[in-house]
A and B are shown apart, each in its own frame.
Chain A
Amino acid sequence: MTATRLNPARAAILAVDDSPQAMEILSQILLGFGAAKAAKCHSARDAKRLLASETFNLAIIDDDMPGEDGYDLTHWVRLDPGGRNYTAPIIIATSNPARSRILKARDCGANAVITKPIIPAVLLQRMERMARINRPFVTSDTYRGPDRRFQNLPLPEGVSERRMDAIRLMEAPERELSQDEINALF
């Protein structure tokens, strides 16, 4: 990764977060990446206005906002196939990496989830990965978003089969997922 050359300044990025502190962290990260022209919104309502009138290369959306939350906003972006940002990459940022919420983000059509506080290296890795991998996009009655059928991960080293007790534990809806486990779901 260290030798990769990137220029995020070429991307129009939208950041949405109701927390001034979290927004400041994200803003400084994006400035450090050279993305000086990132647009910022503190609510889903303001973000909708921008998303309807401008084209973005990436949206980074907080999941937990009062009123319409980040899942609602992501779902709204994916509603209109004629919308300017219908296929735009969306990263949801969350403080609560419970399995149920990660799956909700995925079902809304998000491309990735990262945990807060956002760590520059983690965000840049996700951006680079999305830049390098061309993913098909699915429009159906029940799902609109990036095609999720592209990962075929092997069992972890030393594991010969999935045990039912491990599967039950993995499927607990409130179980906290690590960033690696979250990445494996997208």
Chain B
Amino acid sequence: MPVAEIFMPENRLGAILGGASDPTSARLTKAAERRVDTLQSGLRLHVAGNMQIVRALARQSDETLLAESHALGDAAQAICEVAGAAGLYALGEAARGVFMMVAAHAAQGIWRPEALKVHMNAMIMIDAEPDPDEASGRHAVILEELQGLRTRIGIAR
């Protein structure tokens, strides 16, 4: 029978709990958000470069898509891990759907090119909107539909 040792270690993060002279978490959060905002133009360039890969693959056959699934997964991952921070939330979430579907193929053998292409075309459509804030209502509907599609193939929440 396995033996477990259970002990109470020092709480190493306890040191960050502050006193009256320390900043509030709201102030720290705002300061961090302002700093992330300064990265937006560079992050958007990074997203645009990876969107070129998505656009090119969206026009390919299902066989080519399968052969290039690593490249597609890498591009989708690169987009989803920064797009939200660049003010491109909907594009990032659609890209996350692509990344998770490609990962599900590698892990579970679930390969659904038609669902992938729907997601890729949704990404292209979202990316074409000149003002993501103005289009947020439409984007919410698109994301809901994509999530419904992923649910049907066992991937979405």
* Residue among B13, B22, B39, B46 with max Cβ neighbours from chain A (10 Å): B13
- Docked-complex contact B13 and A96, CB < 8 angstroms: no
Q: Which 5 A-B pairs have the closest CB atoms?
A: A32-B32, A120-B32, A87-B9, A140-B4, A5-B18
B23 interface contact, C-beta 8 A: yes
A residues in contact with B42, CB < 8 Å: 21, 24
- Docked-complex contact B157 and A131, CB < 8 angstroms: no
- Docked-complex contact A8 and B156, CB < 8 angstroms: no
- Docked-complex contact A8 and B16, CB < 8 angstroms: yes
B residues in contact with A10, CB < 8 Å: 15-16
Residue of B nearest to A94 (CB): B81
Q: How far is the CB of A110 from chain B (nearest CB, A)?
A: 14
Q: How far is the CB of B37 from chain A (nearest CB, A)?
A: 9
Interface residues of chain B, those whose CB is within 8 Å of chain A, are 2-20, 22-26, 28-36, 38-39, 42-43, 46, 77-78, 80-85, 92, 96, 99-100, 103-104, 107-108, 110, 150, 154-157
Asked if A6 meets B22 with Cβ closer than 8 Å, knowing A32-B35, A95-B99, A120-B29, the reply is yes
Bound CA–CA A22/B39 (angstroms): 11
Q: How far is the CB of A13 from chain B (nearest CB, A)?
A: 10
Bound CA–CA A178/B25 (angstroms): 23
